[in-house]
Structure 1
Amino acid sequence: MLENISRSLTDCYANKESPLVVGVSGGPDSIVLLHTLNQLGFQLIVAHLDHKLREESGADSKYVEEIATELKIPFICSEVDTITISKEEKKSLEETARNLRYQFLFKIANQENAHAVAVGHTADDQAETVLMHMLRGSGLSGIKGMSVRSLTGWDNKIPLVRPLLNVYRSEVEAFCQDNNIFPKIDKTNFESKYHRNKIRNELFPILEEYNPNIKNKLVSLSKIATEDYKVILEIVDKEWVELVDISEEECIKIPMDRFNSKKLSIKRMLIRKSFEYLKSDSNNIQFTDIERSIKHIANPSKGQIQQITSDIFIQIHENIIYIFRDGYQIQFTDFPRIEDATDLFEGSGSIKINANWNLEFEERTFSELSFEEIKNNKDPYTAHLDKELLDEGLLLRPPQEGDYFQPLGMGGKGMKLFDFFINEKIYRGDRKHWPLLCTMNNDIIWVVGQRISHPYRVTGKTKKVLLVKGIKTNE
């Protein structure tokens, strides 16, 4: 068994020069992992998290500490109220405990400058994982199961390693017996209220009636799927570099026509890789999520945002696929986006709209400007306004429900602002942040970058002109 573990550690690129954090619960698998890694001469740090889910959990912590002390290995322990956190986050106890455990392990790994985190998953766990993913309808990425070494969403530099992944539980139990090791037994492992336990305790005994070697077969299947997955992944990695724009941390952009020209399996993998890149929980990405994404991309509703997982969304705009995290706001148009209303001063000067745009004001006499110059203005971000109609002050604000104005060029006819946006093909997601220059009574003077309102135009009776310009600062 030691030779088997040693080979796995070689595959993990584990080294003896820097610390290796070992997650130890006190159960057979993690205790055997600790002993074997110690025998092989690794520089270990024992990390134990008390989830406070059982009355015996305190005794488990003490037991692990005693083993670490006996082996003269540094011991770090913490405890969490898993039940309360599970309720607050509205997640299952199983998922919450797992998340908390890995958060803790990788936090310790970073603190101690460890080169990896080792956990005690065995070949039996691999068989269970493969079967669970098959029941969920997973593709190759799920059927391949767990990897001996992998980078996870918990840390993009420190790997998670599983040195016992090719070791069966029967070998672990034999090692304990031969070496007089008496690990703690978690009684909840025999309860079927948790999904994995139900598969282990109820489904596997039935499957073993059909094939006593079902676990070996599932482990073999995972190895076959892993090799096939590697081949596809090489192709996908190449496509990823050529197709995907990852210039923004929370949003991925892919040309839709090029994406749709790819084989279905490549499209599925690109979607999955996108979710993983955006740090969605890859263990909870289901095949149905991938299929729904592809269906939406093939038949998009104009401007519609499609929620795919709890934290990932997809939107199509002008032949670009946008895949983004919850909370990210896509800005399709290079316009001076505004969030809140701002009272403006009168006269000359400048005011900041946002980090990249300013609004500049300059008072001019009509004699300084020719009527032809004003009439032939082609710059959408320059407005000439009758200053004498604006003596009560100005307001810069985003649109409001019920906004109405009279666009220049319509002979004084009015229309709803949002109908104007539709006519001008202003993207729906941009409309609620489009800046409006208004009177203090909320009358629209200028839809910045579009049109001024008819009543505020310069006429032959105008004496003073307020010249307003939207200036991009390129900060």
Structure 2
Amino acid sequence: MFAAGDRVVVAVSGGADSVALLDFLVNLREMGLSLVIAHLNHQLRGEESDGDEAFVVRLAADYGLSVETLRVDVREFATRQRLSLEEAGRVARYDFFDEVAARHDARCIALAHHADDQAETVMLRLLRGAGGSGLAAMLPRSADGRYVRPFLRVTRREIEAYLAARNLSFRTDSSNTDTSFLRNRIRHELLPFLAGYNGNIAARLVATAESLAADEELLEQVVAAAFDRLGSFERTGTRLLVKVLTTESRGLRYRLYRHALRLVKGDLARIGSLHLQSIDRLVHDAGSGASLSLPGGCRVTKSYGHLVFTAGGSGEHPMDWEVPVEGPGRYPLPGGSVLVVEPADSPAGLRMTSPTVTFLDGEQAPFPWLVRNFRAGDRFVPLGMTGHKKVKNLLIDCKVPRDRRWRIPLVFSSSHLVWVAGVRAAAEARLTAPTADVLKVEILGLDPLKGL
């Protein structure tokens, strides 16, 4: 999982598992790892959540490590994004961990999931109707190497013994006993019940996940080879040849649909077997021009001998959206991107910018800001120009597909458009030599010039 001298972000909640992981990694002296602690305060348990954050900050000081913390109102985020509380927390955490890793140029992010977590995940997915890939559950190392789980074969009992032997203190999350959450019911009710039939049930579930993961590795190679034969990935979407698809086995077809969706969507969240069956009916029974909307803003269209998968065209997204920005911070936006605003020093060049990062003069762009998507008639002065340009024309010039333009955030200070995020900086509020109040503004999870 690690090479000597790696910089590693360690996700630390303050609970037993993450405290044990942190201590273990600190004491891998021979590896010489450079560790950075990341802690997200979900703001779900009031003073208890704040206490967890304070505990992690003290823990970092005790170890002499850097720590990055962030507070996110996960309940409000879940409501705004129409996610369950558990899913919203997961999205917020992983976005934050990715951001910290990028900021510190870390090679990977270490998570404290252990064998009992794995058993719960397998059972959770079984209850929800997952196939082989879902039941493979969590991997010790993600496919891209970004996330690692050193404790995935370690049991909760072994972690508790380690903490006791090392005399380490930790925080206890009161919500872990709340059986209104399905995972907690599995942990406290279902698995103990199944242990009456097999006392080693958790270990058996973990072994099943490992076996299925090995199968998935082989099957993914088969799918990749099949996609090379009958598929293509372009900026406008993913295409599969219908004529060839109909000659393949149902199992391979379903896996190709999943592969295509992952390419355009980035993940398979909320995509289930019923959706794959609907796509298959589209292939076999529908005429050219027929289409299907899927969760997460995806559309599948049968068009002139191709099955075309695109993102952002399902009509599920709000046609008009607005997000207020009161000051520096991190703001999740509709469509999955995140706006990050933070004070900064002046960059080496006053016009130093990129499609996804810009620097603004805080005095010329006072808060509050309003971030919204494109409206007909929007105009601005692009950086380096003196005349106005229609935002619509800019998006056309940059070849941003029509069905993806709704995701492009426009950042306004008062009535002034100061940035077309991910596309072009504005002359308004640009840095000048006397600028003292410098703001770095970055958009994460959005690159329309590279297919979003």
Instruction: Report the TM-score, using the length of structure 2 for normalisation.
Output: 0.67
Q: Match of 1:440? A: none
- Is 2:103 the partner of 1:111? yes
Q: Deviations over 1:275-327 (max 9, x none)?
A: 21123442432222222222222212442221122322111012110111123
Pick aligned residue for 2:62 from 46, 70, 90 = 70
Q: Match of 1:136? A: 128
Q: Give the 3 Å change call, closer, same or farther, for CA 16–79 of structure 1 in structure 2.
A: farther
Q: Match of 1:51? A: 42
Q: Deviations over 1:260-289 (max 9, x none)?
A: 111221111111111211234424322222
In 2, distance between residues paired with 1:37 and 1:285? Answer: 36
Q: Which amino acid aligns with 2:308?
A: Y
Q: Give the 3 Å change call, closer, same or farther, for CA 158–209 of structure 1 in structure 2.
A: closer
Unaligned stretches of 5+ in structure 1?
A: 1-11, 152-156, 330-339, 342-352, 358-428, 430-475
User: In 2, are the aligned partners of 1:136 and 1:286 still within 8 Å (CA)?
Assistant: no
Bigger-Rg structure (1/2): 1
User: In 2, are the aligned partners of 1:311 and 1:325 still within 8 Å (CA)?
Assistant: yes
Runs of 4 or more consecutive aligned structure 1 residues displaced over 4 Å after TM superposition: none
- Is 2:275 the partner of 1:267? no
Greater Cα shift, 124-133 or 239-248 = 239-248
What SS is found at the alignment partner of 2:301? Answer: strand
Q: Match of 2:199? A: 212
Pick aligned residue for 1:276 from 262, 273, 276 = 262
In 1, distance between residues paired with 2:217 and 2:145? Answer: 21
Q: Match of 1:97? A: 89
User: In 1, are the aligned partners of 2:36 and 2:68 still within 8 Å (CA)?
Assistant: yes
Aligned length: 320
Q: Which amino acid aligns with 1:17?
A: G
Q: Match of 2:320? A: none
In 2, distance between residues paired with 1:197 and 1:255? Answer: 44
User: In 1, are the aligned partners of 2:299 and 2:313 still within 8 Å (CA)?
Assistant: no
- Is 2:6 the partner of 1:18? yes
Q: Deviations over 1:421-474 (max 9, x none)?
A: xxxxxxxx9xxxxxxxxxxxxxxxxxxxxxxxxxxxxxxxxxxxxxxxxxxxxx
- Is 2:234 the partner of 1:247? yes
Q: Which amino acid aligns with 2:45?
A: R
Q: Which amino acid aligns with 1:138?
A: A
Q: Which amino acid aligns with 1:95?
A: E
Q: Match of 1:316? A: 302
Q: Match of 1:449? A: none
In 1, distance between residues paired with 2:204 and 2:103? Answer: 40
Q: Match of 1:454? A: none
Q: Deviations over 1:198-239 (max 9, x none)?
A: 211121121111111111111010111111111111111111
% identity of equivalent residues: 29
What SS is found at the alignment partner of 2:265? Answer: coil
Instruction: Report the TM-score, using the length of structure 1 for normalisation.
Output: 0.64
In 1, distance between residues paired with 2:276 and 2:64? Answer: 48
Q: Give the 3 Å change call, closer, same or farther, for CA 160–168 of structure 1 in structure 2.
A: same
What SS is found at the alignment partner of 1:209? Answer: coil
In 2, distance between residues paired with 1:302 and 1:243? Answer: 18
In 1, distance between residues paired with 2:122 and 2:100? Answer: 29
Q: Deviations over 1:97-124 (max 9, x none)?
A: 1110111110000000000011110011
Q: Which amino acid aligns with 1:162?
A: R
Q: Which amino acid aligns with 1:286?
A: G
User: In 1, are the aligned partners of 2:298 and 2:313 still within 8 Å (CA)?
Assistant: no
Distance apart, 1:174 and its partner CA: 0.7
Q: Match of 2:243? A: 257
What SS is found at the alignment partner of 2:196? Answer: helix
Distance apart, 1:135 and its partner CA: 1.3
In 2, distance between residues paired with 1:314 and 1:264? Answer: 18
Q: Match of 2:28? A: 40
Q: Note the aligned Cα RMSD (angstroms).
A: 2.5
In 1, distance between residues paired with 2:202 and 2:122? Answer: 10
In 2, distance between residues paired with 1:299 and 1:308? Answer: 18
- Is 2:299 the partner of 1:307? no
Greater Cα shift, 164-173 or 288-297 = 288-297
Q: Give the 3 Å change call, closer, same or farther, for CA 354–184 of structure 1 in structure 2.
A: closer
Q: Which amino acid aligns with 1:319?
A: G
1:142-161 aligned within 5 A: 142-151=134-143, 159-161=146-148
In 1, distance between residues paired with 2:275 and 2:154? Answer: 33
